[in-house]
């Protein structure tokens, strides 16, 4: 097992990573909690791990109210939030009662939003069960629900008190979810760590067959990188934006497919290649490096081509409306080399001209 600390003064917390950790959940619970908790999970995850986690919490002395929500992005809604607030009332949670998220990024974002807002904030515990949640969404404190007009628009920065990552749960994850999340794993190599990228190039088979030691190593490295970035820029005033490498185009691809056709990671894979090509066209990034990135993504395997539903005009409109755009300029994270990126602004006209020539 490895433990990584996210150092944020009074909001600091540990991330514990290793196989079988849910079985030892009581070892990782922070002190000072009230003995009532709200466990939020989705129906798929509940089937595999709901009973185990409920009984571990009960053994640790909690009275557990379990809220099982239907799986899927639609869950991050006002209606689901309302149901969870009702559950929190019904179960008489107080200010020290934890909300425990057991699931992927959807459950984590929703449960975290409840934790951030119920009674102006109650303790929050993350038990991420998808690779995406383990390497990305459970760390860093971004919590949100969707508004009918925009994804993740209603939210907060609200750090968990602990993150317990049991890498064994990845064995039940659908293979497509595993592949999609690998885009985020590869992203960390490009933005921050060339030797991690090299490691992925040499070990993709072992990663995809979920060898314990290899999976632990990659989850640890991704969490270390994310923790360091969040420590330096918790609320995304600047540096944290590097985590959006591949996301500008990726978000547009997700939206063009109505969030149904492409998984987040699948869209980010294409977005990283498009950002790489933009960097090559500006003379910032070498063709040979771009080829390495495409090859690594394809080895997962992940598609790197723009999808059939791609529409340059609509895509640029979506990118201008994105909450990360500012005063009409689109913010792009562009690679300079494997292991280093920079932030660049680009006008919608220039971006459109570039995309039409792809």
Ligand X SMILES: NC(=O)c1ccc[n+]([C@@H]2O[C@H](COP(=O)([O-])OP(=O)(O)OC[C@H]3O[C@@H](n4cnc5c(N)ncnc54)[C@H](O)[C@@H]3O)[C@@H](O)[C@H]2O)c1
CB 116 within 8 A of CB 158: yes
Query: Active-site residue 171, yes or no?
Result: no
Query: Active-site residue 44, yes or no?
Result: no
Query: Active-site residue 262, yes or no?
Result: no
Q: Give me the least distance between CB of 108 and ligand X, in Å please.
A: 6
Token code pair at residue 61? 């002395």
Q: Does 304 bind ligand X (CB under 6 A)?
A: no
304 SS3 class: coil
Q: Does 266 bind ligand X (CB under 6 A)?
A: no
CB 42 within 8 A of CB 73: no
Indicate which single residue of 126, 130, 244, 304 sits in contact with ligand X (rule: CB under 6 A): 130
Q: Give me the least distance between CB of 73 and ligand X, in Å please.
A: 5
Q: Does 133 bind ligand X (CB under 6 A)?
A: yes
Indicate which single residue of 54, 129, 161, 167 sits in contact with ligand X (rule: CB under 6 A): 129
DSSP 8-state secondary structure symbol assigned to residue 329: B
* Catalytic residue from among 44, 142, 187, 262: 142
* Catalytic residue from among 187, 244, 263, 289: 244
Query: Active-site residue 264, yes or no?
Result: yes
Q: Does 157 bind ligand X (CB under 6 A)?
A: no
* Catalytic residue from among 56, 221, 247, 263: 247
CB 341 within 8 A of CB 191: yes
Phi, psi of 3 (to 5 degrees): -125, 130
Cα diameter, the chain: 62
Cα Rg of the chain, angstroms:
20
Q: Does 199 bind ligand X (CB under 6 A)?
A: no
For residue 210, what are the contacts with CB-CB under 8 A and spacing of at least 6? Answer: 170, 171, 178
Q: Does 231 bind ligand X (CB under 6 A)?
A: no
Residue 26 neighbours by CB distance under 10 Å: 12
Of 26-34, 71-79, 209-217, 248-256: span binding ligand X (CB under 6 A):
71-79
Q: Does 59 bind ligand X (CB under 6 A)?
A: no
Q: Does 66 bind ligand X (CB under 6 A)?
A: no
Query: Active-site residue 291, yes or no?
Result: no
Q: Could you tell me the end-to-end alpha-carbon distance of the chain, in angstroms, rounded to an integer?
A: 45
Nearer to ligand X, 136 or 224 (CB): 136
Q: Does 19 bind ligand X (CB under 6 A)?
A: no
Q: Does 277 bind ligand X (CB under 6 A)?
A: no
Q: Does 257 bind ligand X (CB under 6 A)?
A: no
Query: Active-site residue 340, yes or no?
Result: no
Task: Using CB atoms within 10 Å of the CB of residue 100, give its burial: 0 to 12 exposed, 13 to 18 middle, 19+ buried.
Answer: buried
Q: Give me the least distance between CB of 50 and ligand X, in Å please.
A: 11
* Catalytic residue from among 11, 36, 240, 282: 240
Query: Active-site residue 357, yes or no?
Result: no
Token code pair at residue 137? 């969404």
Phi, psi of 223 (to 5 degrees): -65, -35
Q: Give me the least distance between CB of 106 and ligand X, in Å please.
A: 3
CB 225 within 8 A of CB 188: yes
Q: Give me the least distance between CB of 92 and ligand X, in Å please.
A: 28
Query: Rounded distance, CA 15 to CA 19, Å?
Result: 13
Of 10-18, 130-138, 227-235, 314-322: span binding ligand X (CB under 6 A):
130-138
CB 145 within 8 A of CB 76: yes
165 SS3 class: strand
Query: Rounded distance, CA 273 to CA 296, Å?
Result: 11
Nearer to ligand X, 78 or 89 (CB): 78
Q: Which residues are catalytic?
A: 120, 142, 184, 226, 236, 240, 244, 247, 251, 264
> Given the rule CB under 6 A, which residues bind ligand X?
42, 44-45, 48, 71, 73, 76, 103-107, 109, 129-130, 132-133, 136-137, 140, 142, 152, 169, 172-173, 177, 264
């Amino acid at each position: 097992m490895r433990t990584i600390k996210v150092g944020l003064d009074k909001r600091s917390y540990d991330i514990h990573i290793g196989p079988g950790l849910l079985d030892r959940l009581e070892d990782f619970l922070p002190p000072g909690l009230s003995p009532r908790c709200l466990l939020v999970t989705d129906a798929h995850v509940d089937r595999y791990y709901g009973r185990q986690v409920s009984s571990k919490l009960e053994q640790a002395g909690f009275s557990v109210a379990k809220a099982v929500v239907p799986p899927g992005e639609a869950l991050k809604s006002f209606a689901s939030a309302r149901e969870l607030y009702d559950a929190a009332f019904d179960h008489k949670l107080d200010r020290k009662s934890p909300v425990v998220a057991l699931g992927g990024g959807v459950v984590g974002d929703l449960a975290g939003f409840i934790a951030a807002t119920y009674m102006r904030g109650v303790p929050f515990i993350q038990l991420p069960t998808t690779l995406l949640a383990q390497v990305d969404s459970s760390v860093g404190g971004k919590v949100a629900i969707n508004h009918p007009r925009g994804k993740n628009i209603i939210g907060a920065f609200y750090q968990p008190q602990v993150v317990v990552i049991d890498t064994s749960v990845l064995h039940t994850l659908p293979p497509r979810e595993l592949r999609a999340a690998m885009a985020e794993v590869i992203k960390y190599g490009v933005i921050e760590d060339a030797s991690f990228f090299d490691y992925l190039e040499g070990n993709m088979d072992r990663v995809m067959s979920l060898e314990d030691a290899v999976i632990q190593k990659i989850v640890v490295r991704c969490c270390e990188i994310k923790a360091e970035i969040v420590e330096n820029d918790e609320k995304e005033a600047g540096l944290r934006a590097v985590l959006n490498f591949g996301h500008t185009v990726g978000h547009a691809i997700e939206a063009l497919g109505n969030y149904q056709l492409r998984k987040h990671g699948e869209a980010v894979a294409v977005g990283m290649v498009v950002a790489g090509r933009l960097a090559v066209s500006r003379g910032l990034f070498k063709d040979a490096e771009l080829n390495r990135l495409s090859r690594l993504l394809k080895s997962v395997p992940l598609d790197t081509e723009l999808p059939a539903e791609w529409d340059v005009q609509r895509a640029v409109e979506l990118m201008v409306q994105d909450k990360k755009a500012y005063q009409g300029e689109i913010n792009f994270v562009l690679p300079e080399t494997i292991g280093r990126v920079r932030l660049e602004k680009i006008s919608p006209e220039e971006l459109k001209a570039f995309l039409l020539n792809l």
